């Protein structure tokens, strides 16, 4: 690979040998593989990050995304490009949202699935009334901040596209699947490879 990162729309040849290959659940094990492969990738030129996932931990996806953002800021001679292969579900879409649209690509037939974060918890209220109120407020704070973080990711994903936040908020509760060609037509990605 050249030390100069190519600009503009990339062709299939650019994706022949991705430097970072990730598949499976987005979890701390994937994050370790990601960090190791990122450290081994050249600091200049094109670095393709290929991902296929049925989802996982959205906070791990955000950590990986922040690493991409940080590396893009400190190494302007390095172009980090996302290639979604087959399934980019849930946390995978969160990770993709950290890439500028011109650095997002999907393979033919790939699907991006966008949904709301899920919570599975029970709130057991017992004890002095003031303590009960504090427990309820803590749960409400967790919900409100989780929604805010979720919506930040949605905003990053749709920025510059024809997809509106209103549409995402309407469709995400029922798991919104977007096929690669539709993602391109809607301006969510640069190209289908």
Place of tokens 């994706």: 15
Domain range summary for the chain, segments of one domain joined by +: 12-192
Report the DSSP beta bridge partners of residue 105.
83, 191
Q: What are phi and psi of 109, to 5 degrees?
A: 80, -5
Residue 4: what pLDDT? Answer: 63
Write out pLDDT tens, residues 30-70: 999 999 999 999 999 999 999 999 999 999 999 999 999 99
d(CA 13, CA 157): 26
Kindly state the tokens that stand for 177: 């699947």
Handedness of CA 25, 70, 163, 116 (dihedral sign): positive
Write out pLDDT tens, residues 140-189: 999 999 999 999 999 999 999 999 999 999 999 999 999 999 999 999 99
Q: Which CATH superfamily is domain 12-192 in?
A: 2-enoyl-CoA Hydratase; Chain A, domain 1 (3.90.226.10)
Write out pLDDT tens, residues 107-140: 999 999 999 988 888 888 998 988 899 999 999 9
What's the Rg (C-alpha) of the chain?
18
């Amino acid at each position: 690979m050249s030390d100069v990162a190519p600009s503009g729309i990339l062709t299939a040849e650019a994706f022949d040998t991705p430097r970072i290959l990730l598949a499976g659940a987005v979890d701390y094990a994937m994050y370790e593989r990601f960090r190791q492969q990122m450290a081994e990738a050249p600091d200049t030129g094109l670095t393709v990050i290929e991902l296929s996932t049925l989802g996982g931990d959205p906070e791990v996806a955000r950590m990986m995304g922040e690493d991409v953002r940080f590396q893009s800021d400190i190494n302007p001679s390095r172009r980090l490009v996302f290639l979604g292969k087959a399934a980019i579900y849930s946390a995978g879409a969160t990770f993709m949202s950290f890439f500028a649209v011109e650095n997002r690509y999907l393979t033919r037939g790939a699907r991006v699935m966008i949904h709301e974060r899920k919570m599975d918890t029970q709130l057991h209220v017992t004890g002095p009334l003031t303590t009960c109120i504090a427990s309820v407020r803590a749960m409400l704070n967790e919900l409100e901040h989780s929604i805010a973080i979720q919506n930040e990711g949605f905003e990053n994903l749709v920025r510059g596209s024809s997809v509106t936040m209103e549409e995402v908020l309407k469709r995400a509760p029922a798991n919104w699947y977007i096929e690669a060609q539709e993602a391109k037509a809607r301006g969510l990605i640069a190209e289908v490879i």
